[in-house]
Chain A
């Protein structure tokens, strides 16, 4: 779709929050309400653009912006949005608005507002960048924004340690793909759509899958690299926590699903990653602590199980699962914001657990046909995880229930648009550059 060709709508979508971050940095601490209004205004514009794109994109269609960035190195400013991407950007834009309205203006300082909006730009860029190097640029910006958000030295260092390991692996993956493109085509390019067509040996494909899976293992994270999750979540205020668990938790799997999975989904190394993912789900069910780490790791495990599934239905369920992960964790964050340790009625918690965990049943069903042992292991973890969720959800306050309505609406949207999550061949390499 080229609507209207002269308007760089994807650029507007991605960079509007960054502009908002700069503008909302001007009002000083006494003018907190003005800052909040400004930041909300920019986030709302971004949400409106994302909604427009999600509503107008045709089945199988896409939006694309392709400009020269560093011609001598074959790198482009390439933004691309397909059906799956349109749902992702809608989610990110909605999440940023929710994060900004989740607390009073006096709790939202200049630094937090700036970093939240900058993170939104990074996440939107991650969802739309079609050039590997550009994707890494957004990845780096998002990582630094999140690192600086907690403001406590030890938490910042711990978060950075794991996440930068993920970025380093992602950079290595893109660098090798960039080299292979150079060798194969004779000119350099980091266009993600070219990665699946790179000729490589099975051995090499295996190593590349493991390299790419390393990004999810560190950044996702998967079991056992979980030590940063709870400390980072605890160090953040509610808006930052919503963005971390509902937005940044997608970064690693986004890289995986966009750059790695289309290239080598069924290599032998996939089995090792699958087992690790199943263990992550089991850990989520068995972990004794009431913390965020088991929940996040469990959901990530289910997503990875789906993404590495041998069937299209399984992969689709994995892609849907990514958004369910984000939806579930941000909803639970809002739910728990007022009373972290209280325990509410099991009935409400049970419904919530059903809502969030039911879609993953498809993942397990598809997985059962290829690797029943892994599916059984993960299934056991899923059941235990559901019980755990029911036990730990506190009573819901009226204000929080109001904020949960948009999330419920988004959940219904997910159910209504399953076709957008199916992997498609709509990301063919560009044949000509648009100036």
Chain B
């Protein structure tokens, strides 16, 4: 009996590596600390009523943000571990399989559990405020999306200490990810972690399309929408076409692994190339899904801090939409070298280069928004200005990669690694950080400290170039990605060491940002006006942080940059006519449904059908319970709105 338990435990828990034991200990300590604090301060009820059951888009956004920052930390630690292993030739810090697990989780986490939720944080926090709405179109579904993401991410993350992490790369190409070559549970964690959160992402896409199309304040025509909202619309359209492809690809891979089918196996008529096509039909649009909202943020920030209208609005909208359409016709550039033939390669090379055109046009439009403006270099603007050169160079190397025959020399080399980090960090991460600094006062009611912010900015910037410029060169030296070790013979050592130093500088930048947030919570400049940046769009017309119902009176929109125009015309303080406000009620079902999915996913990961059945029954039960829930909304009475507004210093 004891032997059986021991045997089970040695497979169930990841063992044998001091790093993992260290992590085990810190995870247990952190959990104990959280439980202790919540109990000691009697905060369990608060946690449940204020956060776990909330359907408020702003709180859901903040939860997305916290989760994504935690995942940025996790993915960042993965990156630093990899760079330590590669700092010198023949290092024995990580063994092959451990390294393979780490690069797999690094990629998966950074795209799916860092970039996506941080993007959703901004969707949630900003879009309803920008369009003058009181919530999203489907607040309940919004909560479901969040909890599916959250429990999907948790399922993926526990693979680190339980069962073992996936190790077949962030896209899990078969046949390597098939049961024949990856018999462990790691790939199952990958499939179910992504599957569960992917359903949430799809629902968010639908939710925000409907929100943007149906919930805009009266007078806000599509062509008067703020550019960030446009970019969210473009991104969501891409989501609803791309994510079903991901779901199907992973479902087929699961069927292969669980039921022994042969969609992508080496034998039995399977064809791994089919998976590679499918996964990139999602994977390429995915990078545009995350970068388009960043483009939207840059547009808002450049315009605000140049005190000038966005240049070429129509052209920007056209560029956004053409990028989201073209993004579906470029997927095969991820495998020019898979021998699809010259005609196919020629088509995808041209379509890939073509997508560079609208992207380049956007850069010109940002530049000419600053031209004849008044550029003040605040923290959001710093990151935006850093983005332009970084993204232009990254885009140029992207065009270089699009040259199909030349790609035969770049494919899977460090040149490629440098390129996609430059566009994903320079484009997406810089954008989200710019957005974070920009909307932080709106979210929390105070600004982030400037001095620490500059330290963070410069260590990030220097770290980035020191880390990734050498990697372009390493690609030209023939170094391929995903090697856990290398020798002295190829001359790769010096540049790898430089790259590692850069990675640690970026890590230091992140530490500065954590310090900045902690410091600013206590000492940050409070935003009492609700409009700390002299903003242009509706979110700046209301107090910071926004009250539960966002707008006491739904605004009447007359112009693009309506809030700016209102201020230009001279603010008239009028006593508004208040009415009771219709709001959705909190509910615990989304949280419980997420937990049920987690149980189901865990069961499917370990082939424990009984557990999967329990989990799926739980999912079904929560769906049924919701359909019998009739008391789902309420009205905030005028008196309460008056009290809140007065407390916020507004005239009512």
Chain B binds chain A? no
Residues on B facing A (Cβ under 8 Å): none
